Amino acid sequence: MNKILIIYTGGTIGMINDPDNGMLVPFNFEQIKENVPELNRLNYDLEVHSFNPVLDSSNMDPEIWKTLAKLIYKNYELYDGFVILHGSDTMAFTASALSFMLENLGKPVVLTGSQLPIGEIRTDAKENLITALEIAATKENDKALVPEVCIYFDAQLFRGNRSIKYNIEKFEAFRSPNYSILAEAGVHLQFHRNYILKVPEKKLILRTDFNSNIGVLKLYPGITPQAVQAITDSKVDAIILETFGSGNTTTAQWFLDALQNALDKGKIIIDISQCKKGSVQLGLYETSRELQKMGILSGFDLTFEATVTKLMFVMGLDLPVEESKKLMEQSLRGELTN
């Protein structure tokens, strides 16, 4: 019998209507089989760890990611897989963060949630939960078939650090714009094995030291020196530069000078595109050639969520700046294509 740990952090999936006032309130996930009787047919050994109090995902932060990573690490040998129930708004951030924290992960960590509460008649919660559990339990040759942190939502399984939330109104809330889905659920669960990470041979390593001192500079036509310098002159250790197209920016000298000044102070600057699909190609156009010359890093096809969490992770390793820069342009957990 497969043994799965369900970790309930909060979110819409765990809400039911209070019959007294009609408001949405969290239900007791210890009694999950009473609320989702279909789980009895899976024949899994399910245990539940519920956050107390439960959290709106907008309140997620690195300390909570650390709590989650430690919980998985502590229970790693006791369970075949882990399912994290999480609010959808910051789910991609949490999935990305956990992928970096859990080095040499050899078991599934599947995040899921829902757009409607589990008590609603038309809810997507039950299907998401049941299939996430099936994925967490699936093995091949006695090894986990999906040994990575992933997100399951609306019949599709995504690599966690390749995912973005793109829709707040449809059940199809997530996409993976620059990487294939790992599996899809129809009449059968169909896994795309070529896109799934291999089971590592080394032991799981927990890494929880994150440095979240990051600034974000999103460009737009007409941006002023004052707006740019508010970020480049601030006391952050790294800056995410959200640029146009394949990594392009204004070539105004004041702008390039502001970036150079930040680099001279030892800040890491990484260039990612505002476009959801495609990759940064520094030097392809004149408007990014100067960035490449001055040593600004390419984020290639990183999502914003993966860029934020990877920067926090890499800077938390407390390496020399040049080593940190090299790691940012390498694929550590399948998060980028370069």
Active site residues: 12
Compute the distance between CA of residue 166 and CA of residue 138 in angstroms, rounded to an integer: 28
How far is C-alpha 87 from the geometric centre of its chain's CA atoms? 12
Compute the distance between CA of residue 212 and CA of residue 235 in angstroms, rounded to an integer: 12
Compute the distance between CA of residue 273 and CA of residue 43 in angstroms, rounded to an integer: 45
Compute the distance between CA of residue 149 and CA of residue 240 in angstroms, rounded to an integer: 24
Q: Specify which residues 244 forms β-bridges with.
A: 248
Compute the distance between CA of residue 69 and CA of residue 91 in angstroms, rounded to an integer: 14
Q: Which of 188, 191, 195, 151 is closest to 173 using CA atoms?
A: 151
> Which of left, alpha, beta for 222 (phi over 0: left; psi -120 to 50: alpha)?
left
Compute the distance between CA of residue 129 and CA of residue 111 in angstroms, rounded to an integer: 9
268-273/238-243 β-pairing: parallel
> 153 and 128 in contact (C-beta within 8 Å)?
yes
Question: Which residues, 6+ apart, have CB-to-CB distance to 94 below 8 Å?
Answer: 57, 60, 65, 68, 84, 86, 111
SS3 state at 55: coil
15-17/24-26 β-pairing: antiparallel
Helix (H) or strand (E) holding 149: strand 149-153
Q: Which of 144, 132, 118, 111 is closest to 17 using CA atoms?
A: 118
How far is the CA of 262 from the CAs of 16, 230, 232, 246, in angstroms? 49, 11, 5, 22
164-165/156-159 β-pairing: unpaired
